[in-house]
Amino acid sequence: MNVANLQPREAPVRTDSKLIVEPVTPIIGAELSGVDLREPLDAATAADIQAALHKWRVVFFRDQDITNDQLKAFGRAFGPLTPAHPISEGLEDHPEIWERAVDEYRVRRTENDNVKPGARKPRDYKGWHIDITFVANPNRYSILHGVQIPPYGGDTLFTNLIAAYEGLSPKIQRLIDELQAVHQTTSYDFGGDKARKPRRDGRGTGPFVSLHPLVRIHPETGEKLLFLNPGTTTHIVGLKERESQALLDLLYFEATRPEYQVRFRWAPKSLVVWDNQAVAHAGPIDYQHFDLPRVVRRITVAGELPTGADRFRSQALEGELFNVIG
């Protein structure tokens, strides 16, 4: 090994607000420190966190022992909060917070394994998804706090959808720039139709169907990115079924290439913020292999109707928008 060719690790960046930014990979992910999230964020710190988020796509905080109210206050520094989820309700005292336990993933895995052959297409993209794209206005940012974390396992992967688009050949980019895809809930989402009992807040529980551009323009940075979701994208409009599936398979492969990814190892009190406008994620990636408890709580910052490279704006085909908490 030629030691002279090794590149030094990028030095931590110290901002005017005392936020410290330490990149994890050259293309996605940064550890943030120098801020105590139990305290209200001042404008300069919030701006520096947002700038780091737009540069590194997902940011990680450690040792943030915060309450539910402090979690929500942190999220509101970046915009109004949504309800916990369009289908599943949040905590009774905190309707903005969606609590997930690893047992729920195991139940869904068992149900999927027991589906009769031929009842559903055998598509398996290892849990990769963008949050809540079956609504026409998916959330802007997602914020996840580790409440009960096992000593090992339960990692989350994130991938940079802007880099994935930029890695495509110009001819493929031109092909997909003017295409739209349908995103919708399925009978297998979050316990299926059995889970769709009336909500405490009176909101509808779906089904939800939306039409989105296949290539989205990031509303803050102006960059183009792949906007497709293995969990909810059913087909590309205007293509034959075999053409649609072949193109989606190609794009899913590109979107989840290892060189565009970062892997986060959770620890108790960790907090992750990702730009849901530019990132897909998968996790916990190994839930079927361990029996240890794992509980996380998520809030989401409200988003807008995505705009495509051809200026097409997303449309709700069925179901209401993902409106903010009143």
109 in catalytic set: no
186: closest CA among 119, 117, 281?
A: 119
276: closest CA among 57, 14, 56?
A: 57
Strands (DSSP E) contained in 47-188 are 58-61, 98-101, 141-148, 156-160, 180-184
The active-site residue, picked from 48, 57, 131, 216, is 131
Strands (DSSP E) contained in the chain are 13-14, 20-23, 30-33, 58-61, 98-101, 141-148, 156-160, 180-184, 209-213, 215-217, 224-226, 233-236, 261-264, 271-275, 279-282, 295-301, 315-318
281 in catalytic set: yes
The active-site residue, picked from 54, 62, 108, 129, is 129
The active-site residue, picked from 57, 145, 297, 298, is 298
The active-site residue, picked from 212, 281, 294, 297, is 281
Contact 282, 128 (CB under 8 A): yes
Q: Half-sphere exposure of 175 toward its Cβ, with a 13 Å CA cutoff?
A: 15
Query: What residues are paired with 212 via a beta bridge?
Result: 181
How far apart are alpha carbons 239 and 116 in whole angstroms?
A: 28
Task: Name residue 319's amino acid.
Answer: G
Backbone phi, then psi, for 262, in 5-degree steps?
-135, 145
257 in catalytic set: no
145 in catalytic set: no
Q: Kindly list the catalytic residues.
A: 129, 131, 281, 298
